Amino acid sequence: MTLTFERLAVDGQARLGRVSTPQGTISTPVFMPVATQGALKALPPEWAAESGAQALLANAYHLHLKPGEGLVESLGGLHKFMNWPGHIITDSGGYQVFSLPDRQITEEGARFRVGKKGQPELFTPELSMAIQRRLGADIIMAFDECVAYPTPYNYAKQAMERTLRWLERSRQAWQSEGTPEKQALFGIVQGSTFADLRKESALATAALNLPGIAVGGLSVGEGLEVMTEVLGYTMPYLPEDRPRYLMGVGLPEDVLAAVEAGVDMMDCVIPTKYARAGVVFTRVGRMRLDNAEYRKDKFPLDTACGCPACTHYSRAYLHHLFQAGEILGHMLASLHNVRFYMDLMTGAREAIAQGRFAAYKRDFLEVYQRRDKKNKRVG
């Protein structure tokens, strides 16, 4: 198998691990910033690497449309194209396709148009595998059907079952025409918020014995409580000796809850997306940089952070950059937020190694949420 996973320590359900691939190793639990179109938004890859990022998530659907997987392949693959020496995971495009208006789903795949005048396109498990092979990611994802939240039981069941059939087609394409010696395929568990569907999906996905297994269909608006509930009745059916990847999660509190539930890998646009909206994460909670209270604030964004944005600039300067519409504000806030998430995960890994993850999570949230609660009262 091209990807191996070692569990180095277990603390409750939380796991400290190491994913090894031909590209190198990833210390888990890991949070992966998102480079949808083959670029982190407002963040050069060197900055992400210096912040401690080990892996990025790119998207097969977006890169298929622009610039095309053939082009990326002819230029040496995605790592070289985007100058990223770490790991790359590509998502299959399932989530994106099902978010499109007027997409039609058949057993064959998903039909859609890009824009009102776009050519009709048909995404199938086989096409998704071919795209991801040519992009050259280290980990590729099966083509799944991700349903909205909430979804009626019958539709969730139908989509979950189709996802399993598409997983089998994804697996066959990966083995027969892909490069399983270079790329590890992960299956995706679906089933919305229904325990029996999640169980069935998890068991059937696990039975394929793939290098890793993902939980999809969460972080679609269900909230932390429901997410934790779903993880509670899904994780027990996932193999312990495979990395478990929770897709699209989340806020710091979601990330910690997922680690506590035994998740090893996560990705989310939140750190970079919030940064561009002028929201930064700090040990003492979220901070809206356009808030007038920071106008004269000479302190760094987070007094406990060692990132270059915190080392060299004041909150007042960042406030000014956002008031003045300067791109540098997006860059520095993104740099800080990614570093914040990386530090959060470093702390989580250390805590698991020392058997004190529950205390780490509690202590972090107590300080972090004090301010959020205050903000909620004020706002």
Active site residues: 91, 267
* Residue 357 CB, nearest approach to a copy of itself (Å): 35
Q: Determine the straight-line distance between the first and last CA of the chain, rounded to whole angstroms.
A: 52
DSSP conformational letter for 149: S
Q: Is 114 helix (H, G, I), strand (E, B) or coil?
A: coil
Class of residue 74 by CB neighbours under 10 A (exposed 0-12, middle 13-18, buried 19+): exposed
Tell me whether residue 7 or residue 62 sits nearer to a copy of itself (CB atom).
Answer: 62
Rounded CA-CA distance 195/205 in Å is: 15
| C-beta closer to a copy of itself: residue 16 or 137 | 137
Q: Which of 292, 285, 249, 290 is nearest to 376 (CA)?
A: 285
Q: Is the dihedral of CA 346, 350, 353, 357 positive or negative?
A: negative
**Choice between 263 and 270, CB closer to a copy of itself:** 270
d(CA 253, CA 297): 27
Q: Does 328 bind a copy of itself (CB under 8 A)?
A: yes
x/- letters, 72..101, toward a copy of itself (CB under 8 A):
--xx-----xxx------------------
CB 252 within 8 A of CB 281: yes
| CA–CA dist 179, 337 (Å, integer) | 35
Among 73, 222, 326, 372, binds a copy of itself (CB under 8 A): 326
The DSSP output letter for 122 is E
Binding to a copy of itself by CB under 8 A, coded x per residue (else -) over 198-237, reads ----------------------------------------
Which segment (42-50, 98-106, 215-223, 279-287) binds a copy of itself by CB under 8 A? Answer: 42-50
Is residue 44 a contact point for a copy of itself (CB under 8 A)?
A: yes
295 binds a copy of itself (CB under 8 A): yes
Q: Kindly write out the interface string for residues 304-323 of this chain, putting x where it contacts a copy of itself by CB under 8 A and - elsewhere.
A: ----x---xxx-xx-xxx-x
Question: Of residues 150-209, which lie at the interface with a copy of itself (CB under 8 A)?
Answer: none
The span from the CA of 96 to the CA of 87, in Å, is 22
Total residues at interface with a copy of itself (CB under 8 A): 39
277 binds a copy of itself per the rule CB under 8 A:
no
Question: Given the complex with a copy of itself, which of 81 and 174 has the nearer CB atom?
Answer: 81
Q: Which helix (H) or strand (E) holds 214?
A: strand 212-215
Contact yes or no for 15/264 (Cβ under 8 A): yes
Write out the residues near a copy of itself by the rule CB under 8 A: 37-44, 46, 62, 66-67, 71, 74-75, 81-83, 295-296, 298, 308, 312-314, 316-317, 319-321, 323-324, 326-332
